[in-house]
A and B are shown apart, each in its own frame.
Chain A
């Protein structure tokens, strides 16, 4: 890069500021020379996970978001342990307490917030702390080793998390709260009382309606005196009564400050070139203390700094989840009834489950969940998008429609089936094994059965039968668990895609983090799907994560049962030349390929290749990858058509080649196969393909949703067109519409059946819409490269194909 980079300084090395930097680096990696100042001695860590550290679920290392290597490799100058003390807004410079100066062109203030400490007499005694940073966490851990009693002042979210952590450390903990019930900002009284009972059962004590007056003790805290004259003995006091935005630096520098640093919709403060994000900022009168808003703010700021067009930040609707072990609490929106709103409740004191929905003008405006929060995310998304829920209220409250569990159709057949009959063909699970898992293994959901027997864990084709068996053997005990895209989340595909768009989430890690994945680093189901959704939504900005792709797509070859791979060069439309055939044959001989086979799609398959040989073979073949692996365009099968065939009405080969060249390397939710037949005799079997083209006299019939695989299905006729260009236009529009709307791993055949042919026809009906879809698919395709060539040329990718350096003994 030759251009002079602008200087960007970030004050505050926390989640909000660094998040904005991460985003900026994706949009404009070369634009700025970046300096970051942080008061704490650590790299960027996830503050909201501190309660997990305290509760013993995570280690300090587990909560580091960006390690020092990240700063280094992105060329960021990082000063930890430095507090910025002044900003010279005229000469555009900042200065730290250790005398370091840095000039800036743009300055981001992300100074976060400070815990609010009650100004009680004695608050400066030893053993009186907040719960805010790693240091506080360490003090609690140390204190627990030598002392027994702890008081937490504040029965809100943070206070309860601190108290739970202290219990875990073996201390006797009482929570002091001024209100008559805990978490009153997030819960209604009924849920709060249930929560209190649950926490009491775990050993927590509560001192409610208590106003603290003074902290007793000589040097170290001994007790807490209340306004009613009572005294509680204690060895440690944790104040968790709230936070206040840290605005001192901004105020001292002449920036407009209210409760927080005042920013507009583009996170700009009152002084040009200075921005603020996160807990220190006040936007439209609100200073947020949660993670989701700061991600949204960071995205807007990053775009602004990168010079990209963006809509302004318009504020966030927030939700709360309590992260203490064994208790699930969720609340969102306006959860207390107000004039004009109605509510529905479900309360089960035996199971300890409570659910309340607040509805206003047929829209869901708030919700409280206790005991089972699996509906939290979907309810939250309904609150945010403001959809009309008339007629669905009870279904939302009870989680399922009343007839979803009741159907007995088809069960007679399952009942009559022999015990040794195989239900799950992929994993060889018999009816008897599933029955056993339900009857004596205690499985009550499809998820349980999957975890216990592996039935329906692979292709999922047998899931309806597994559900039927669950009905049959578990009856009323059967639980219909809301299943997300995999076991790591309760969110479905549409919810995830909507959240990624809304919060401009940019990496797999970030999606998991912000959407509360319950599995570190996800699994082989969610990782590839998130990678796909991100790539589909942000084709230009997103960097594909090869480590989140299945083996075949990481090594661009198809793994076989013995660990060898197969190589299939692209042969457009199934047409090759004698010269290419010779080249393929020579390479096959040279590398001792054990089998050469024609694929089902008219290509040549070189099977049994050692992984080490792959890059060398690709290099010598010097042909593009046929993508005979992965979720992408595979082949376009053709018949001879009018070129030679006496019946052919159109040039099937030419059309096939044109389509294959147009869509090769396209990533899709699942593999995609095309075919072109030159006449209605349909020798290319186009009517069992995802997109089939059949020539008729004077035009082309376009068919969609066919499949010759697991779920055999003949296509539906989409339309008839006259010209070759129209075939391309419709194929582009159809494939892009499928890319944007299908669930990960869903073939067009199942997708067409799920959403209905009519809905697809409608979406593609207007030429304008088709052209917009075509433009989007072309933009995506323009960014693809041939993976074989890339691996051949890049040593960093190529190294993974060979064994690591020959070992030497020490």
Chain B
């Protein structure tokens, strides 16, 4: 487990996302309206859609390919679809806004 500085909250638009490559995996970072930042593997379990390109509604992201909904807290795919996406622990320094990811 390593903790990595990956950027600053201001680099991510609200309801937007940025992706990053790490340890051979593509990870999507999301910043939701409340200001919280979430990180999940950037791959929808349905047909591999890039979640970073999806629309963020509340704390869910809709896959851009076929509209599967993924809960960013748990990584669970919501009904009627099924599946799970790997999530990563994110810490945001409240003063500097720096984002740390634990891999």
Q: A: which residues have CB within 8 A of B?
A: 61-62, 67, 427, 450-454, 457-458, 519-524, 527, 547-551, 555, 559, 561-563, 611, 799-800, 803-805, 807-810
Q: B: which residues have CB within 8 A of A?
A: 2-7, 11-16, 18-22, 29, 33-35, 47-50, 53-58, 62, 64-67, 79-81, 100-101
Whether B80 lies near A454 (C-beta < 8 A) is yes
Known: A547-B16, A551-B54, A808-B4. 5 other contacts (CB 8 A): A524-B55, A524-B57, A549-B55, A559-B64, A805-B7
A67 contacts which chain B residues (CB < 8 A)?
35
CA distance A551 to B61 in the complex (A): 12
A808 contacts which chain B residues (CB < 8 A)?
4-5
Whether B57 lies near A519 (C-beta < 8 A) is yes
Whether B62 lies near A810 (C-beta < 8 A) is no
| 8 A-B pairs with the lowest CB-CB distances in the bound complex, closest first | A547-B15, A563-B50, A520-B58, A551-B64, A804-B18, A804-B7, A521-B58, A551-B53
Nearest CB of A to B90, in Å? 12
Nearest CB of B to A507, in Å? 13
Whether B19 lies near A810 (C-beta < 8 A) is no
A427 contacts which chain B residues (CB < 8 A)?
66
CA distance A777 to B100 in the complex (A): 48
Whether A522 lies near B6 (C-beta < 8 A) is no
Whether B57 lies near A522 (C-beta < 8 A) is yes
Q: Provide a sorted-by-A list of 25 A–B residue pairs whose CB atoms are within 8 angstroms.
A: A451-B80, A457-B67, A458-B67, A519-B58, A521-B33, A523-B57, A524-B57, A524-B67, A527-B57, A547-B13, A555-B53, A563-B48, A563-B53, A800-B13, A803-B18, A804-B11, A804-B18, A804-B20, A805-B7, A807-B7, A807-B101, A809-B5, A810-B3, A810-B5, A810-B100
CA distance A495 to B29 in the complex (A): 37
Whether B6 lies near A807 (C-beta < 8 A) is yes
Q: Is the interface of A mostly helix, strand, loop or mixed?
A: loop
Smallest Cβ-Cβ distance to B33: which chain A residue: A521
Pick the contact of B55: A454, A519, A550, A810 (CB < 8 A): A550
CA distance A287 to B53 in the complex (A): 47
CA distance A803 to B62 in the complex (A): 20
B56 contacts which chain A residues (CB < 8 A)?
521, 547
Pick the contact of B21: A451, A452, A803 (CB < 8 A): A803
Residue among A521, A549, A563 with the highest chain B CB neighbour number at 10 A: A563
B34 contacts which chain A residues (CB < 8 A)?
61-62
Smallest Cβ-Cβ distance to A525: which chain B residue: B67
Whether A809 lies near B3 (C-beta < 8 A) is yes
CA distance A695 to B72 in the complex (A): 55
B49 contacts which chain A residues (CB < 8 A)?
563
Smallest Cβ-Cβ distance to B44: which chain A residue: A563
CA distance A803 to B53 in the complex (A): 12
CA distance A551 to B66 in the complex (A): 12
Nearest CB of B to A435, in Å? 16
Smallest Cβ-Cβ distance to B81: which chain A residue: A454
Whether A559 lies near B7 (C-beta < 8 A) is no
CA distance A519 to B56 in the complex (A): 13
Nearest CB of A to B31, in Å? 11
Whether A524 lies near B62 (C-beta < 8 A) is yes
Pick the contact of B14: A523, A547, A611 (CB < 8 A): A547
B3 contacts which chain A residues (CB < 8 A)?
809-810
Whether B11 lies near A805 (C-beta < 8 A) is yes
Smallest Cβ-Cβ distance to B36: which chain A residue: A61
B55 contacts which chain A residues (CB < 8 A)?
524, 527, 547-551
Nearest CB of A to B18, in Å? 4
B22 contacts which chain A residues (CB < 8 A)?
807
CA distance A527 to B57 in the complex (A): 9
Residue among A62, A452, A458, A524 with the highest chain B CB neighbour number at 10 A: A524
Nearest CB of B to A564, in Å? 9
B50 contacts which chain A residues (CB < 8 A)?
559, 563
CA distance A547 to B61 in the complex (A): 12
Nearest CB of B to A411, in Å? 25
B81 contacts which chain A residues (CB < 8 A)?
454
Nearest CB of A to B102, in Å? 10
Nearest CB of B to A516, in Å? 16
B13 contacts which chain A residues (CB < 8 A)?
547, 800
A452 contacts which chain B residues (CB < 8 A)?
79-80
Whether A804 lies near B6 (C-beta < 8 A) is yes
Asked whether A805 and B6 contact (CB < 8 A) given A61-B34, A454-B80, A800-B18, the answer is yes
Smallest Cβ-Cβ distance to B18: which chain A residue: A804
Pick the contact of A453: B19, B48, B80 (CB < 8 A): B80
CA distance A474 to B11 in the complex (A): 52
CA distance A611 to B22 in the complex (A): 18
Asked whether A807 and B47 contact (CB < 8 A) given A559-B53, A561-B65, the answer is no
CA distance A573 to B61 in the complex (A): 38
CA distance A208 to B80 in the complex (A): 47
Whether B5 lies near A451 (C-beta < 8 A) is no
Whether B79 lies near A799 (C-beta < 8 A) is no
Nearest CB of B to A614, in Å? 12
Smallest Cβ-Cβ distance to A450: which chain B residue: B80
B2 contacts which chain A residues (CB < 8 A)?
809-810
CA distance A67 to B35 in the complex (A): 10
Asked whether A799 and B53 contact (CB < 8 A) given A458-B67, A804-B20, A807-B20, the answer is no
Nearest CB of B to A158, in Å? 27
Whether B80 lies near A809 (C-beta < 8 A) is no
Nearest CB of B to A528, in Å? 8
CA distance A801 to B103 in the complex (A): 23
CA distance A800 to B11 in the complex (A): 9
Smallest Cβ-Cβ distance to A437: which chain B residue: B80
A555 contacts which chain B residues (CB < 8 A)?
53
Nearest CB of B to A776, in Å? 29
Nearest CB of A to B8, in Å? 8
Pick the contact of A550: B20, B57, B64, B79 (CB < 8 A): B64
CA distance A799 to B18 in the complex (A): 9
CA distance A258 to B29 in the complex (A): 55
A803 contacts which chain B residues (CB < 8 A)?
18-21
Smallest Cβ-Cβ distance to B101: which chain A residue: A807
Nearest CB of B to A649, in Å? 45
Smallest Cβ-Cβ distance to B55: which chain A residue: A524
Nearest CB of B to A442, in Å? 14
B20 contacts which chain A residues (CB < 8 A)?
803-804, 807
Smallest Cβ-Cβ distance to A796: which chain B residue: B13
Pick the contact of B4: A519, A800, A809 (CB < 8 A): A809
Nearest CB of B to A634, in Å? 20
A550 contacts which chain B residues (CB < 8 A)?
55, 64
Nearest CB of A to B103, in Å? 9
Nearest CB of B to A524, in Å? 5
CA distance A208 to B14 in the complex (A): 50
CA distance A61 to B34 in the complex (A): 8
